[in-house]
Amino acid sequence: MTKRGPAKGAAKAAAAPFAEIVMVCGKCAKRQGLGAKAVRGGLKRALKADRRGRKVRVVETGCLGLCPKRSLTLATAGSLGAGRLLVLDPALAPEAMLDALLPARETMP
């Protein structure tokens, strides 16, 4: 550390404007004929209607490496922390996808 702050090239941390992240594999969505933007949009609309009180960022990624047939691959920070990817049926409603991706938290009394 120098007198002016952290050393050049040192990593800095900042608060994230969201509490959760959902990653949608763009390649899987394209293979299912949906498009990652459509999946992402459906999840975002479902999140706006959801009353769980979380700020969630939904992003499209490149290939996550799993490539299941007739399914979508998604990930959350929690699933990646556990070393897991989530494989969902593309016919699921966005609300059902949310329930699988971000289980409801216990509410504090």
Instruction: Tell me the CA distances in angstroms from 63 to 24, 42, 97, one per residue in order.
Output: 9, 20, 19
pLDDT at 9: 78
pLDDT at 54: 76
SS3 87: strand
pLDDT at 108: 40
For the chain, which ranges sit under pLDDT 50?
Answer: 106-109
Residue with tokens 């040192």: 10
pTM: 0.82
